[in-house]
Amino acid sequence: MKRILVIFTGGTIGSKQQEQAIDINEQGTALLLDSYRQQPFYRTDIQLDVAQPLNILSENIDPSHWQLLAEYVQRINQAEYDGIVITHGSDTLAYTASLFSFMFADFTIPLVFTASNYPIPDKRSNGLRNLGGSFDFICSATIPGIFVVYEDNKGEQQVYLGSRIEQCTSFDDQFSSPYRLTFGQIDKGTRQFVPQIHPLNPPLSLLKPQEVPFDRHTVIAQLTNRIQYIKPYPGLDYSYYQWGEQKPLAIVHDLHHSATACASSVERYSLPKFIARCRQENILVFICPLKDKEIALYSSSVEILDAGAIPLDKITVEAAMMKLIIAGSLHEDCTWLEQFMTTKSLYFEHFHVYTDELN
């Protein structure tokens, strides 16, 4: 008998449609478990404990909610459980999964995030199958670490590493990962976890509790919101970004798919000019994502780097944002922040070939 703790946080998987609005509902938790027990894939070999430290639509999450959830997870006696499932809204799941991958990389049991595309009573909902798939993963994989289980549009239960999942897309409610590479799947017939063997995936032998190279208590207590995210688009006017005393510690600036952004000679549209202004104000600008900072780049990318942008390659924007939030919660020194972001690997967030480990 496996003992699993289910932590409810709200989101679509714990919501209910009332007239034309979908919102969190006090009965959402009970409805989810009662409905799961009526499914043909209900497992009778598990004991479920439940908790709900917060109840919120995930688009409304701010650092105070992450603090509350992290404080609760930190107090859990892992020796009492075979795994933990956290139900979460799909809108911001990728951010929370990345953050918790870094903060709880030393977990000795699997911690699995899951969500739903529609409220449970909706026949289009995949929430019950995602919950069942999360339990199947814990029962069959017995791998420590932070994961996400979510059904794709082909009906396959995909398993993602928490630090490698990207935001859910708008039109098809699908999660993804760089190179469309998941960590594995749950086999429909056997309900067993099947790893995706690929040179870019860490082998199972490496999936052990990782060292957390920072004081987790300090990060949770001081979780910062002084990180800004900017996404490029034609005509992005940097002159609108003006700060007084309240300015960001650092910025994560997204890039177009070819690792470019505007390097126009027109100052208001120029990312290099914006970076130069940020440097004068001691604001670091990190650029991401980059497949590989060592390969040939477009001239605009070279200008951006020459202006002082700090490249973060082989990592998703979501992981970069959460890693920077952790760093900014520990120190405000620019040199320290840059070193932390460019030299520390926390939980398999960097895509590289695991050649030596596979041999």
Q: Which of 122, 47, 39, 130 is nearest to 88 (CA)?
A: 130
Helix (H, G, I), strand (E, B) or coil at 350: coil
Q: Which residues pair with 6 in a beta bridge?
A: 50, 85
User: What Rg, from alpha-carbon coordinates, does the chain have?
Assistant: 21
Say which DSSP state 237 is in: -
What is the sign, positive or negative, of the torsion defined by CA atoms of 323, 146, 116, 351? Answer: positive
Pairing of the two strands 21-24 and 15-18:
antiparallel
Q: Which of 294, 281, 292 is nearest to 251 (CA)?
A: 281
d(CA 68, CA 135) in angstroms, rounded, equals: 24
Helix (H, G, I), strand (E, B) or coil at 316: coil
> Can you spell out the DSSP letters for 81-116?
-SEEEEE--SSSHHHHHHHHHHHTTT-SSEEEEE--
Tokens representing 302 are: 């070279």
Residues with catalytic function: 12
The DSSP element (H or E) to which 279 belongs, if any, is helix 271-280
d(CA 216, CA 235) in angstroms, rounded, equals: 40
Say if CB 114 and CB 85 are below 8 A apart: yes
Say if CB 98 and CB 131 are below 8 A apart: no
Q: 242 CB contacts (<8 Å, ≥6 apart)? A: none
Q: Which of 27, 21, 99, 17 is nearest to 8 (CA)?
A: 27
